[in-house]
Amino acid sequence: MLNTNSNAGRRSGRFWGVVLFGTVVIGGGVLYAATRGGAAAPYGLDLPRVVAKVDREPITRDMVYRRLRQYETMTPEGFKDQSPDAMKKRVADIAQTLIQQRLIQNEAVRLKVSVIDAEVQEQYEATQARFGGPAEFAKRLEASGTEPQTLKGDIRDYIALQRVTLAMQEAIPVSEDEVAAFFEQNKGEFLKDAARARHILVDSEEQAREVLRAINDEHVEFAEAAKKSSKDEGSKGEGGELGWFTKGQMVPEFDQAVSALKIGEISAPVKTQFGYHIIQIEERRAAASQTVADHRDHIVHLLREQKWQAQRQAWLDQLLQQGKVWKAPEVTL
pLDDT tens digits for range 106-132:
999 998 999 999 999 988 888 888 778
Query: Do both 108 and 25 map to the same domain?
Result: yes
Does position 281 have pLDDT exceeding 80, yes or no? yes
Domain membership of residue 120 (yes or no) is yes
251 with 265: CB under 8 angstroms?
no
206 and 143 within one domain: no
pLDDT tens sequence across 30-43:
333 333 333 456 77
199 and 164 share a domain? no
The reply to whether 167 and 233 lie within a common domain is no
Rounded Cα distance between 105 and 282, Å, is 39
* Cβ atoms < 10 Å from Cβ of 135: 9
Residue 78 shares a structural domain with residue 159:
yes
178 lies in a domain?
no
Count of structural domains within the chain: 2
Q: Any idea which of 53-62, 66-75, 185-194 has the lowest mean pLDDT?
A: 66-75
pLDDT attached to residue 141: 80
Same domain as 261, residue 147: no
Q: Which amino acid is at 223?
A: A
In a domain, 75, yes or no: yes
Give domain status of residue 9, yes or no: no
What is the mean predicted confidence (pLDDT) over 46-59? 94
Q: Which of 183, 286, 196 is nearest to 250 (CA)?
A: 196
Furthest C-alpha separation in the chain: 71
Based on C-alpha coordinates, what's the Rg of the chain?
A: 23
What strand order describes the sheet that includes 194-202? 241-246, 194-202, 275-285, 270-272
Residue 160: give its domain's CATH number.
1.10.4030.10
Burial class (CB in 10 A: 0-12, 13-18, 19+), 127: buried
| Torsion sign across C-alpha atoms 102, 104, 110, 116 | negative
Of 135-149, 193-207, 227-241, 255-269, the range with the lowest mean pLDDT is: 135-149
Question: Is residue 156 in a domain?
Answer: yes
CA distance 64 to 49: 10
- Looking at residue 145, its pLDDT comes to 67
Instruction: Round to whole Å and give the CA distance between 169 and 161.
Output: 12
Residues 167 and 201 placed together within one structural domain of the fold: no
20 inside domain: yes
Instruction: Tell me: pLDDT of 9 over 70.
Output: no
202 shares its domain with 139: no
* pLDDT value at 53 more than 90: yes
Sorted by sequence, the CB contacts under 8 Å of residue 120 that are 6+ apart come out as 152, 155, 156, 159
Q: Are 242 and 274 in contact (CB under 8 A)?
A: no
199 with 166, same domain: the answer is no
CATH number of residue 219's parent domain = 3.10.50.40
State whether 154 and 23 are in the same domain. Answer: yes
For the chain, the average pLDDT equals 84
Check pLDDT > 70 for residue 95. yes
pLDDT at residue 14 greater than cutoff 50: no
Q: What is the mean pLDDT of residues 56-76?
A: 83
Residues 52 and 154 in one domain: yes
Average pLDDT over residues 155-168: 91
Is residue 153 a part of any domain in this protein?
yes
Answer whether residue 15 shows pLDDT above 90. Answer: no
pTM for this one?
Answer: 0.65
pLDDT of residue 74: 66
Residue 325 DSSP SS3? strand
Where is pLDDT greater, at 141 or 57?
A: 57
* Residue 21: pLDDT band with limits 50, 70, 90: very low
Per-residue pLDDT, averaged over 134-156, amounts to 84
Q: How many CA atoms lie within 13 A of 170 on its CB side?
A: 6
Is 223 found in the same domain as 262? yes
Q: Please report the pLDDT score of residue 39 as a whole number.
A: 43
Domain span holding position 271: 192-289
Q: Is residue 8 part of a domain?
A: no
Task: Please list the alpha-helical segments (H only) found in 49-133.
Answer: 61-73, 84-110, 117-130
Of 24-33, 77-86, 197-206, which gets the smallest average pLDDT? 24-33
pLDDT at position 144 is 66
